[in-house]
Structure 1
């Protein structure tokens, strides 16, 4: 009698407490990036605009969170429809999700994946705001943010990461958001500033950062939070890919900062703190799509290339006359394009996937896929963002008046100022013209 043949079915994934906890921590780290971005941008503007800049980032935590729960998660990660958008009624309001229901073959709950991706959705429109400093009505920005994430971010997130999304199915590699976040935001920034125009005094008046310590604090918080942004995008820590991404994030950022500073020294003769902070962010941007596919040596090369090219790109606004206030185009758009395309050169085929770049014997195939992803997202975001800005400008108006811009958008839009210079504590503004009262000790001496 022949022995019975037993077929073992593949074991279904089980909820992992370790991966769940890891992903919740990563979600909190990504959330911290938005206040970090607010400090980074807030320190780079003039005093009279600093609160407005903080608020343009911070308000995204409110608007995008609500929209994500209502329908954003469903549009981005629901059942595919035509490779362009998703939709699942169970995800609307996050109302049909079981407490321990696992996300798509992974070992973490759907709720955990949803909140992790929420933080990506929150920071992306906040990135755009840096290009619009000093001149946009806060009410118009609030409306633009809601419309933009609905019409641009949610669909693009589905293209890139959603099962069935056309870029995902094509094999475009975007580990943590080079296309969906940084190119998307950078192209949107360019589209909007081409519509709303330049600041009063652009290329004439000095527009130096009012607080470089705030800029450095913001850059440090971004760097710290980015470990959750990048390493967490593998959705677990069982096979070492997340650890490689963590290492690559660090080394690419370091290389980009050094490359930016070297360029500054050669070109301008100084190593600036603003350059160090901007270089670090450029490296973080570039390694975001590519760090899961390259080696640490490749990450150093990607970071150095991005630092150099982004440092060169920030000056293009003066040559071509577009007023990108805080270099969102020069850092996020250019850095995202560089990092996404370099996957086609530095992918080793031995980390997140078996796709190989040109330098590892893979030919031009992956580079071609990356180029399609880059330019599809760039074109879509640029056009739709410009149209949204145009419609809002023609209806409710996007810009404050010239007088309000000159006097200070903080006071006009928020009825507040970042710093109180009228109180005591030194300086002519804090001194009274009246004679000071004598101290008790001096009075005793007089009586004596």
Structure 2
């Protein structure tokens, strides 16, 4: 019976991993619809580039860095260990090939998809103006020196400093969303503003594409959150329910604020609200009653709707609101646990601000580390090989200049008028 249960849990992880992998094409569609028509190929290629590069790096050494035995206690694992990676490639450890471990490999595959989408999320901040080659160099370095160690710190339940300290981040509020949002802010500052940057200058070129992306993201997010339990049980079920409730409420919260602020609720607002709610519930989906999840969604939708305006007030060009949705939403969800997490929140059994402080400290450490490292990496790339395309190429269109393609290559035909 125990073996059957273990196999069932592993099967669920494999299915959940496939759902999460689908989220990265979802990001590509979500972002792709919001950029200029002459930038859609570039935008989507950054997500697909992340899938290719990070997928390989995870197998080669990323899994060991994130989940191997400690190389530096509490901070990073040994890349040579495990059933995949450098050990097996170099013949040091071939146990994975000789005796495949279903549960271990299923978990490794599931976590790979987290690494991939975290990198893809960053790309939205530099839409319309980044070189693809430079982006790939950044992605490879950043995922190695930032994401893999942060995943060890947050997701390695036995060895990472965050879970040992008592931080609750069930599916990646810090490791995924705050991590990506802080890096996005750093890159937006390094690359600077787009030509003609100001409020209202650009509208999404393909709204249905963005809505499709949001739908794929929400669909995959059930694997993201419920799969993080790595078992078919009640915790996975409550995570699933909360992954429905919070983004649904966040849509309402975003649209209400948008209506009050701008006079009209928009479909892009509904899609963005759903993503904001998904971001906020990610760290908390295992430890909130559904009612508290609904409240979290409303708060996240409303606050993130206001937060996306910060780039105009502060002057940084976060093209597709990665900072306003993922960094802000990640902080909201992470801190909310310290207030309303079942049994540990200040008002739901914890009876003290201790958990709130732990949640804040973990979020701040990840944000600062990711921002500083991303800024350094991006700055070096910009000063050496160049990260940003020229203003002239930006106006001409990054798709044609960088990829030699167009998202909508429609042949023009003369129509002869019959008299």
Check whether TM > 0.5: yes
In 2, distance between residues paired with 1:249 and 1:93?
36
1:232-251 matches, cutoff 5 A: 232-237=227-232, 239-251=233-245
1:274–1:83 Cα change, 3 Å: same
1:282 maps to 276
1:247–1:15 Cα change, 3 Å: closer
Question: For the Cα contact (< 8 Å) 2:37–2:205, is it kept in 1?
Answer: yes
1:120 maps to 114
Are 1:391 and 2:380 matched, yes or no?
A: yes
1:159 maps to 153
What's the CA shift for 1:90? 3.1
Residue among 25, 50, 54 paired with 1:60: 50
Cα deviation, 1:320-360, whole Å, max 9, x if unaligned, reads 100000000000000000000000011113xxxxxx10111
What's the CA shift for 1:15? 6.7
In 2, distance between residues paired with 1:375 and 1:132?
23
Cα deviation, 1:123-158, whole Å, max 9, x if unaligned, reads 001000000001111110010000010010001001
In 2, distance between residues paired with 1:418 and 1:206?
21
Residue among 77, 81, 88 paired with 1:90: 81
Question: For the Cα contact (< 8 Å) 2:62–2:79, is it kept in 1?
Answer: no
1:254–1:66 Cα change, 3 Å: same
Listed as ranges, the gaps of 5+ residues in structure 1 are 1-10, 103-107, 350-355, 424-429, 439-448
What's the CA shift for 1:422? 2.2
What's the CA shift for 1:89? 2.4
1:309-320 matches, cutoff 5 A: 309-320=303-314
In 2, distance between residues paired with 1:228 and 1:82?
30
1:359 maps to 347
1:179 maps to 174
1:97–1:267 Cα change, 3 Å: farther
> Aligned residue pairs: how many?
408
Listed as ranges, the gaps of 5+ residues in structure 2 are 89-93
What's the CA shift for 1:420? 1.9
1:204–1:407 Cα change, 3 Å: farther
Q: What secondary structure sits across from 1:109 in the alignment? A: helix
In 1, distance between residues paired with 2:271 and 2:112?
26
Question: For the Cα contact (< 8 Å) 1:183–1:374, is it kept in 2?
Answer: yes
Larger helix fraction of residues: 2
2:361 maps to 372
1:299-318 matches, cutoff 5 A: 299-318=293-312
Q: What secondary structure sits across from 1:18 in the alignment? A: helix
What's the CA shift for 1:271? 1.0
In 1, distance between residues paired with 2:124 and 2:79?
34
Cα deviation, 1:299-337, whole Å, max 9, x if unaligned, reads 001111111110010001000100000000000000000
1:400–1:88 Cα change, 3 Å: closer
Residue among 33, 36, 41 paired with 1:43: 33
Are 1:431 and 2:411 matched, yes or no?
A: no
Question: For the Cα contact (< 8 Å) 2:337–2:345, is it kept in 1?
Answer: yes
Question: For the Cα contact (< 8 Å) 1:69–1:94, is it kept in 2?
Answer: no
1:391-410 matches, cutoff 5 A: 391-410=380-399
Residue among 30, 35, 40 paired with 2:20: 30
1:353 maps to none
What's the CA shift for 1:20? 1.5
Q: What secondary structure sits across from 1:251 in the alignment? A: helix
What's the CA shift for 1:97? 4.3
Relative to the length of structure 1, the TM-score reads 0.88
Structure 1, 159-168 or 138-147: larger mean CA deviation: 159-168
Structure of larger gyration radius? 1
